[in-house]
Structure 1
Amino acid sequence: GVIDIRGGRNPVLQLHFARQRAEGGPAREVVPLDLRLGDDFRTLIITGPNAGGKSVAMKTVGLFALMLACGLPLPLDPASRFGLFGRLIVDIGDEQSIEEDLSTFTSHVANLKYMLRHADDRTLILIDEAGTGTDPAEGGALAQAVLERLTEIGARTIATTHHGTLKAFAHATEGVENGSMAFDRATLSPTYRFQLGVPGSSYAFEIAERIGLDADVLARARALVGEQKVSMEELIATFEARSRALAERLAEAEAELARAREEKEKYEAMRERLRAEADNIRRQAAVEAERLLQEANARIERTIREIKEAEAAREATRAARAELEGFKEEVERRRQKVERRQAKRSRRRRPEAPAAPRPAGPLQVGDQVVLDGGGTAAEVLELDDDEAVIAVGSLRMRVRRDRLTKVGGPRRQEVTVRQVAASPADLVGMRARTHIDLRGRRVDEALAEVTRFLDEAVAAGLERVEILHGKGTGALRQAIHEELARRDDIAAFDEAPWNQGGAGVTVVTLK
């Protein structure tokens, strides 16, 4: 069976901490356990200082095995794996007995004998403090021999120990791996976090020094244990600290990677929206160009019809046809040029400008906005619930309001006032305009503006003015034409030539 515990929490410890909080004790949380066994190694040797969490980690694995065999849910992350074992054999605690003439070491040896006799590749074995209760050298050698046999059998084994020989055995033997409980050397306090592949130090001298054991005694103990042993413990402690630091950096890097992936997905989605919008703009430009071509064809046919009705000479008709065909080709060239320029503009990457503070307040008609965070400003013409009509030059689009970002209010119109001496008639002439733009206005507003505009033009003695109303649905143009037809001071009105606005502009001749 394979064990891959991620975020495992010992349920007994969890309940114990909950009772402490309920009784007014300190609020403590169970440190999650991440531990692997059984995929690329079958035996795990856990080392480290006393009260560091070695036995709790091992007991958590055994408790999970029993809970799974009973059909109980395990308190760990969904990504975890835990194999179902056929047998669980443990050697935990001191089973010495005066009545049965068993010492601590004898009881351990009896348990080891039982393990070797009954273990197979579907057995989970837990050994606490392997090799204790006798001479350290002999106990360590006996524990190593038992672990070698269990590894050969294929049993999944977890053993805790303080023997340095077992650390070296785990490092040098295939199928056996070191593990330890992380320890904060600065504060000499356990962190209760398991780290795989790192042997642990017992920190016996450091803990004794913190408790206040005599310095001379400590110095003598270090001398007795030997400089090489002390250096090895120092090396293990340094390796453990570096491993912990690397684990923290790895966690930070993974968090940054997750954020980078999220940003990448967001910008890819925005790029797709902009690409679709660019395609839509190109389609609209092509439709507009086609409409322009149809209008030009209509004018051509009308001119030819007028020539025929006037019974012009055949040569004059042929010349007129040739001239109009050339005009038609010119219109087609212009249409293709517009399409190429639009496609090139949509592919061009715009340099990013420094972010400027966005104006506050709700979106209103006349505000300047950008679509999907783009760089081209558009003007809001209409607002309708969660949609808006915007204009980019002569192009109008209906989009959702949540795709718009307000970058400015209505454009300001600068007016320069000069003090001059003039007659009332001169003032009217100076104030009169020859061109008016009504795009985006409601019909009632536009008609009032047209009346004022024409009155000023007639008073100023103008002969010809232009009204820009756009194409759109044609409702505004129809209303303006009806108003022009009712006025007595209008000599004539008609659409502008195709190259001066076409159906989007009405040219008015005044009497």
Structure 2
Amino acid sequence: MIYPDHFEAKLGFDTIRQLLKERCLSDLGTAYVDKIRFSDNYDLIQKLTSQTAEFQDILTQGEYFPQQNYYNAHPYLKQAAIEGAFLDEAVFGELRASLMTIDQCLRFFAQASMQETYPLLTALSQTVEFDRGLVKQIDATIDERGKVRDNASPDLQRIRKSLIQEQNNLRTQLNKLLGIAKQQGYIKSDANITFREGRMVVPVPAEHKRKIKGFIHDESATGQTVYIEPAEVLDTNNHLKELAYQERREIIRILTALTAAIRPQVPQLQKAYDYLGMIDFIRAKAKLSLELGAVKPNFVEQPLLDWYAARHPLLVLSFAAQKKHVIPLDISLSEERRLLLISGPNAGGKSVSLKTVGLLQYMFQCGLLVPLAENSTIGLFKRIFIDIGDEQSLENDLSTYSAHLTHMRHFLRFSNAHTLLLIDEFGTGTEPVVGAAIAEAILEQLNAKRAFGVITTHYSNLKLLAENTKGLINGAMRFDAEKLSPLYILEIGKPGSSFAFEIAHKIGLPPEVIQRSRKKAGKQQVNFDEVLRNLEIERKQLHDLNRTLLEKEHALTETFNNYQKLKEYLEREKKGILNQAKQEASILLKEANQRIESTIREIKETQADKSKTLEVRQQLQKFAQKNRPEAASVAWEATTPEVAEAEVPIEVIEGNIEIDDYVRIKGQNAIGQVVALKGKNAEIAIGALKSTVKLDRLERLSRKAFRKEQQQASVRLKGINLNEKMMHFSIKLDLRGKRGEEAVTELTRFMDDAILLGQTELHILHGKGDGILRNLVRQQLRQYKQVVGIADEHADRGGDGITIVTLR
């Protein structure tokens, strides 16, 4: 049961119907849109929504599915059912095309793989039966243009052949007559053969019409030209006319026979076209679902709402056109918490939340998919009642409040445990104290009937009732109490403040007026609103703190994981270095032994000659001096960054930079090779990385200088303490106030470090302003292959003033 009668218009479902019709391919589908009805049959809803979900998957997977020639042939089939009637060529052209579409749909679902993937749509197609030989018969008679083929019958083929021959003969005769008349000056030189009343004629100036014998068929609008059929071709034109009549009689005979072949199959064909309309309808639902981001959530056969990321369908489409996103709604109604009272300031989103609940529940029970998160659960309600907006009725002499009470009378009479109530601005429209008291009494009765519902209100007594009554639960639309702006986020469990005094102050009402209003409202009311306001502030602070802690925890986890990876890497490197050192020590020891043995042998061979002995001892001492640990230590120190940076600068080559040149970025140690030139920019390869740099920031190097710089760069890398760099690295970079060149330099250094340390997410703060720095930053980021995502921060945390970078 749905109440009131204009339920769909109140919730916006009439717009949903129109959107579905716009996505249908024919009036076959739109007829089914008009038949959409609310259902409380669990199996039927499950079937309808599952069919739509299956077709949504067909569209998502990019499967080829027929999308043309969805013609409505029902009127033609009624005509064909009449004995002796026949359908014309154009109708058979549409029948031919649409029957082929039906056949293609059936063949699609006849595939074994499709039967397993789309069982419900396959079952729908298995109810359709028609003779495919009929399609071949029509195709053999009617061509792609919707005309009877020449070879549809031997007689038609003979007649059309004769027609062509006679037309050629007639044209030859007329051209000959036309040429003679032009020579004699009776006809204009640019005149051509034309047709009048189905006969070939020649245009003749009126003053010469008596110079050419024949029959006048027509004249021009001005009367200056007449169209004459020369007497010499009269018989030929008559013969052509007779052949045309013969052709028409043969075509009617063929069409009559073809219609007779269709007549016995009219009932099956009507079912086939019903199927085509159903497919068109389901396809339209699936197409709209994709545009809305709609899904088929978990469906249970009991009154229940457990929704995540619910979005109003019409807002989704409207915001998408504006490139905006709808703030999603999380809401839960269960047996313990059936009636949700939403409070908060005006224009804070209370009514939108209420309408979102009503429209999504109604859509789903009409067989449509809904924009929810897939882990949501949607229940089944047998009755949905709404009381939204101004219901003043001049015809029934009812005021707005009287209309509200009329609705409440219906709610109290027919509500039960399977009812979903949607009441906007509960109790308003009359004297506040009385209205609040009546609303409280009605709410108690509805709760006693165990009805479910979403109710918006400003009344404090209803908030207190919900706080202390089982079955009722408060909810508040979040509001930034410091900025006095709505956040459009529903939070269940606590009531919300209307922030009436704060909003009045923001709008600019005189302070003395606001102060007097506080006194008139009473201390108890003001204190209650003040408590709610403070709770909202504390709630926001707690929310922000939790968000900050989660971010820090995420960053800490990433840092720890990177530290573990770095530790494992260093352990592997340590083992490798030790193994290499052992191998080198073994070689050195072997070489030392060989030198000692050689020295002893030479001393013996020279029989201890003092000069020779002194010489070989000196050679041995030089070898020992060269390989002692102190010398190796000095050699290592000479390769540290401090010593390397003190080396003599490498000479720069003058001249224009070309592709394959070796270059270095001015003021930096980064060196690379030019792989492409793009105007004033050059794309350079720095190791495995590629970057785009302005030409005026590059210095040209020789191959020898490039290799030397590579060696020095390698030495510098050996001196980098990755552990220390990891400990001091921050995933956040603040570029606010920086000039373009300075910002790019800092960003380049920051990205190099992030890629070296294996970071996966970075936060770059550039501010909003005119967006110049933001565009410069994002343009630079797109040059990194390691960057897989660039996005704005959440609106609550800085929006487009902060760029979130995701790395591989």
State the TM-score, normalized to the length of structure 1. Answer: 0.52
1:317-350 per-position Cα deviation (integer Å, ceiling 9, x unaligned) = xxxxxxxxxxxxxxxxxxxxxxxxxxxxxxxxxx
Q: CA deviation at 1:239?
A: 0.7
Cα offsets for 1:347-400 (capped at 9, x unmatched): xxxxxxxx9xxxxxxxxxxxxxx854438822369xxxxxxxx66968xxxxxx
* Aligned twin of 1:12: 314
The partner residue of 1:205 within 501, 506, 514 is 501
Cα 1:75–1:428 shift into 2, 3 Å: farther
Matches within 5 A, 1:198-347: 198-257=494-553
Q: Does 1:52 align with 2:354?
A: no
Residue 195 of structure 1 deviates from its aligned partner by: 1.4
Change over 3 Å in CA distance of 1:253–1:2 after alignment to 2 = farther
Change (3 A) 1:39 1:246: farther
Report the secondary structure of 2:434's partner residue. helix
- Contact 1:183–1:191 (CA under 8 A) maintained in structure 2: yes
Q: Distance in 2 between matches of 1:84 and 1:28?
A: 32
Counterparts of 1:392 and 1:112, CA distance in 2: 90
1:142 is matched with 438
Match in the other structure for 1:379? 576
Instruction: Decide whether aligned partners of structure 1 residues 262 and 224 sit closer, same or farther in structure 2, where only a CA change above 3 A counts.
Output: same
2:480 touches 2:540 (CA, 8 Å); kept in 1? no
Shift of 1:141: 1.8
User: Aligned-pair distance for 1:126?
Assistant: 0.6
* Matched pairs, number: 296
- Taking the aligned partners of 1:428 and 1:71, their CA distance within structure 2 comes to 101
In the other structure, the counterpart of 2:372 is: 76
Change (3 A) 1:378 1:131: same
- Whether 2:489 is the aligned partner of 1:183: answer no
* Residue in 2 that maps onto 1:166: 462
**Whole-Å separation in 2 of the counterparts to 1:15 and 1:175:** 35
1:124-170 C-alpha deviation (Å, 9 max, x unpaired): 11100101111212211222222222222222111001111101111
Secondary structure, counterpart of 2:473 in structure 1: strand
Question: 1:221-271, CA deviations, whole angstroms, 9 ceiling, x for partnerless residues?
Answer: 222111222122111100111112222323344455556667778889x7x
* Of 420, 427, 437, the match for 2:615: 427
Q: Aligned partners of 1:2 and 1:372: how far apart in 2?
A: 53
- Structure 2 CA distance for aligned equivalents of residues 165 and 211 of structure 1: 27
Q: What does residue range 482-493 of structure 1 map to in structure 2 within 5 Å?
A: none
Structure 1 counterpart of 2:616, which letter?
V
Matched-pair contact (CA < 8 Å) for 1:68–1:84: no
| Contact 1:47/1:201, CA 8 A, preserved across alignment | yes
What is the rounded CA distance, in whole Å, between the counterparts of 1:221 and 1:131 in structure 2?
22
Take 1:36 and 1:264, find their aligned partners in 2: how far apart are those partners? 37
Whole-Å Cα distance in 1 between the matches of residues 306 and 570 of structure 2?
Answer: 45
Correspondence for 2:491: 195
- Give me the whole-angstrom Cα distance separating, in 1, the residues matched to 2:560 and 2:481: 40
Given the superposition, is the C-alpha separation of residues 263 and 107 from structure 1 closer, same or farther in structure 2, using an over 3 Å criterion? Answer: same
1:379–1:203 Cα change, 3 Å: closer
Change (3 A) 1:12 1:195: same
User: Using a 3 Å threshold, how does the CA distance of structure 1 residues 257 and 146 change in structure 2: closer, same or farther?
Assistant: farther
Q: Is the 8 A contact 1:378 1:392 kept in 2?
A: no
Letter in 1 for 2:574: A
SS across alignment from 2:458:
coil
Q: 2:541, 2:332 → 1: CA distance?
A: 21
Aligned with 1:195: secondary structure?
A: strand
Indicate if the aligned counterparts of 1:92 and 1:127 stay in contact, CA closer than 8 A. yes
Amino acid at match of 2:447: T
Deviations 1:438-460 (A, max 9, x none): xxxxxxxxxxxxxxxxxxxxxxx
SS in 2 for 1:42: strand
Provide closer, same or farther for how the CA distance between residues 211 and 266 of structure 1 changes in structure 2, counting only shifts above 3 A: closer
**Aligned residue type for 1:428:** V
Query: Which amino acid is the alignment partner of residue 196 of structure 1?
Result: I
Distance 1:371 1:53 in 2: 52
**Cα distance in 1, alignment partners of residues 447 and 552 from structure 2:** 40
Deviates more, 1:2-11 or 1:371-380: 371-380
In the alignment, is the contact (CA less than 8 A) between 1:184 and 1:191 conserved in 2? yes
CA–CA distance in structure 2, aligned partners of residues 101 and 265 of structure 1: 73
SS of residue paired to 1:224: helix
2:328–2:489 CA contact under 8 A, matched in 1: yes
1:92 maps to 388
Question: Quick one: which amino acid aligns to residue 44 of structure 1?
Answer: L
SS at match of 2:453: strand
Gaps of 5+ in 2: 1-302, 584-609, 628-808
8 Å contact kept, 2:482–2:537: no
Cα distance change of structure 1 residues 225 and 258 upon mapping to structure 2, 3 Å threshold: same
Per-residue CA shift, 1:191-212, capped at 9, x if unaligned? 1111112211112222222222
> Identity rate of aligned residues, in percent?
40
CA distance in 1, matches of 2:570, 2:330: 43
Mapped to 2, the partners of 1:104 and 1:38 lie a distance apart of 32
In 2: Cα distance, 1:29 partner to 1:428 partner: 86
Q: Find the aligned partners of 1:431 and 1:70 in 2 and give their Cα distance.
A: 100
With over 3 angstroms needed to count, the CA separation of the structure-2 counterparts of 1:427 and 1:2, relative to structure 1, is: farther
Q: CA RMSD in A?
A: 3.1
1:11/1:75 contact within 8 Å kept = yes
In structure 2, what is the equivalent of residue 104 of structure 1?
A: 400
- The aligned amino acid for 1:42 is R
Q: Secondary structure at the match of 2:476?
A: strand
TM norm structure 2: 0.34
**Alpha-carbon distance in 1 for matches of 2:500, 2:561:** 52
**Given residue 384 of structure 2, which amino acid in structure 1 is its aligned partner?**
L
8 A contact 1:125–1:156 mirrored in 2 = yes
Q: Deviations over 1:462-491 (max 9, x none)?
A: xxxxxxxxxxxxxxxxxxxxxxxxxxxxxx
Note closer, same or farther for the CA distance 1:373–1:379 as it changes in structure 2 (3 Å cut). closer
How far did residue 56 of structure 1 move?
0.5
Tell me whether 72-81 or 93-102 shows the greater mean CA deviation. 72-81
Paired amino acid for 1:115: F
Paired residue type of 1:377: K
1:186: how far off?
2.3
Cα 1:193/1:371, change in 2 over 3 Å:
closer
Contact 2:311 2:329 in 1 (8 A): yes
1:154 aligns with 2:154: no
* Distance in 2 (alpha carbons) for counterparts of 1:40 and 1:133: 31
1:349-360 matched pairs, under 5 angstroms: none
> Which of residues 359, 362, 366 is equivalent to 1:63?
359
Structure 1: distance between partners of 2:387 and 2:571: 69
Deviations 1:20-62 (A, max 9, x none): x2xxxxx543212122222531111111111111000111111
CA distance in 1: counterparts of 2:563 and 2:505, whole angstroms: 57
